[in-house]
């Protein structure tokens, strides 16, 4: 068996365990909450998904020397919060599909999607506080607040069509980086990691999260809809100033920049002129540069793992290294 197959199998095994603990958690509340809520949760939670955030909780705990299986219960909270943000994002964006199937808001309606997201948020906080204590809950809540703030920054940048790279980095830290970094830090905290180990894994999560969002933004322009499960061009239609667009804008000559400005300022053109924008961004190497920036963040993330050498954390370190590579190469 190749190293790549071993890595894939190791990730799948742990993802299956995360799903098992989520099923057990939902079974525990069956009869205590409305049946429709359970139906919405079952549909939204088990409709695919890579389980990266809960895996990071487990692996960070293992890397710090813990073999406590209860970490999987803690890990479910991070998938719950992630799912809650997806439910709400799809409502905000008016999304029709998620992972190739009707989005929760389409299948069950707007109200059900919003309320189910609210429930998952509350449930996730309960789990983290119960298992990781006040310190873990504080980290979790700071990440949650930062995610909301990141969405507001993106909203403001969309209205003004800001081409600031620093503004973009602040946005993606809020949208993606903070939760991934929090998953690593809370996992390390629960696993008994010392302050330096917690900080190292936090920084690993920051780098991984930034790279993950950059590749996500790249796939919105270059992805295969059959693999991603969603149409390309959504970010452009919504006026989101993601890294490929910012980099293309910076490099474009006056003629192409004027063209981009005209398209961005008109919603109907944003819907109809995707191929024009794609051509301009490709012309100036924006897609290649976006991937290079993501690779740089992954390199910085991997540097944080070098100080971990305990034999009991060896497999976890291998998988965390492999996950970083997966983030760069993913197609969905």
The structural domains of the chain, with segments of one domain joined by +, span 3-329
Does the structure show a pLDDT above 80 at 86?
Answer: yes
Distance CA 153, CA 290 (A): 20
Residue 98: its H or E element: strand 97-98
How does the average pLDDT of the chain come out, rounded? 91
The more confident residue out of 293 and 2 is 293
Q: What is the pLDDT of residues 106-143, one digit of tens each?
A: 999 999 999 999 999 999 999 999 999 999 999 999 99
Give the model's pLDDT for residue 312: 58
* Helical residues (DSSP H) of the chain, grouped into ranges: 3-29, 35-45, 52-63, 71-93, 104-107, 110-160, 165-172, 178-190, 195-222, 225-228, 234-237, 243-251, 254-264, 267-272, 274-283, 286-303, 314-329
The residues, ordered by sequence, that sit 6+ positions from 148 with a Cβ below 8 Å of its Cβ are 174
pTM of the model: 0.90
Distance CA 45, CA 279 (A): 37
Q: How far is CA 259 from CA 1, 222, 232, 239, in A?
A: 51, 20, 20, 15
Q: What percent of the chain has pLDDT over 90?
A: 69
The CATH number assigned to the domain with range 3-329 reads 1.10.600.10
Instruction: Tell me which residue of 175, 21, 29 sits closest to 92, measured CA to CA.
Output: 175
CA atoms 71, 178, 172, 215: torsion sign? negative
Distance CA 91, CA 111 (A): 9
Does the structure show a pLDDT above 70 at 329?
Answer: yes
SS3 231: coil
Does the structure show a pLDDT above 50 at 1?
Answer: no
- Mean pLDDT, range 43-64, rounded to an integer: 93
- Mean pLDDT, range 275-294, rounded to an integer: 97
Burial class (CB in 10 A: 0-12, 13-18, 19+), 78: buried
Instruction: Tell me which residue of 144, 173, 183, 182 sits closest to 243, measured CA to CA.
Output: 173
């Amino acid at each position: 068996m190749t190293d790549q197959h071993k890595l894939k199998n190791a990730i799948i095994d742990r993802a299956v365990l995360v799903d098992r603990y989520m099923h057990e958690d939902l079974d525990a509340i069956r009869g205590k909450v409305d049946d429709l809520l359970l139906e919405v949760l079952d549909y939204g939670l088990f409709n695919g998904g890579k389980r990266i955030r809960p895996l990071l909780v487990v692996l960070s705990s293992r890397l710090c020397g813990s073999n406590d299986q209860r970490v999987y219960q803690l890990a479910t909270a991070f998938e719950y919060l992630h799912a809650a943000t997806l439910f709400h994002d799809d409502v905000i964006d008016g999304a029709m599909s998620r992972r190739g199937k009707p989005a929760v808001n389409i299948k069950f309606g707007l109200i059900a999607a919003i309320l189910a997201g609210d429930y998952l948020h509350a449930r996730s906080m309960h789990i983290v506080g119960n298992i990781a204590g006040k310190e873990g809950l504080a980290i979790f809540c700071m990440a949650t607040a930062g995610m909301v703030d990141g969405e507001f920054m993106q909203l403001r940048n969309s209205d003004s069509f800001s081409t600031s790279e620093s503004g973009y980095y602040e946005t993606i830290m809020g949208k993606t980086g903070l939760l991934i970094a929090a998953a690593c830090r809370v996992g390390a905290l629960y696993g008994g990691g010392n302050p330096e180990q917690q900080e190292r894994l936090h920084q690993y999560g920051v780098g991984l999260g930034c790279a993950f969002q950059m590749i996500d933004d790249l796939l919105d322009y270059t992805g295969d809809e059959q693999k991603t499960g969603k149409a390309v061009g959504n970010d452009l239609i919504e006026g989101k100033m993601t890294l490929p667009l910012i980099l293309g804008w910076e490099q474009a000559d006056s003629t192409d920049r004027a063209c981009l400005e005209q398209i961005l300022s008109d919603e109907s053109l944003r819907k109809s002129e995707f191929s024009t924008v794609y051509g301009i961004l490709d012309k100036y190497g924006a897609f290649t540069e976006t991937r290079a920036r993501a690779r740089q963040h992954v390199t910085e993330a991997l540097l944080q793992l070098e100080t971990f050498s305990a034999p009991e954390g060896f497999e976890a370190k291998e998988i965390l290294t492999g996950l970083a590579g997966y983030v760069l190469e993913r197609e969905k």
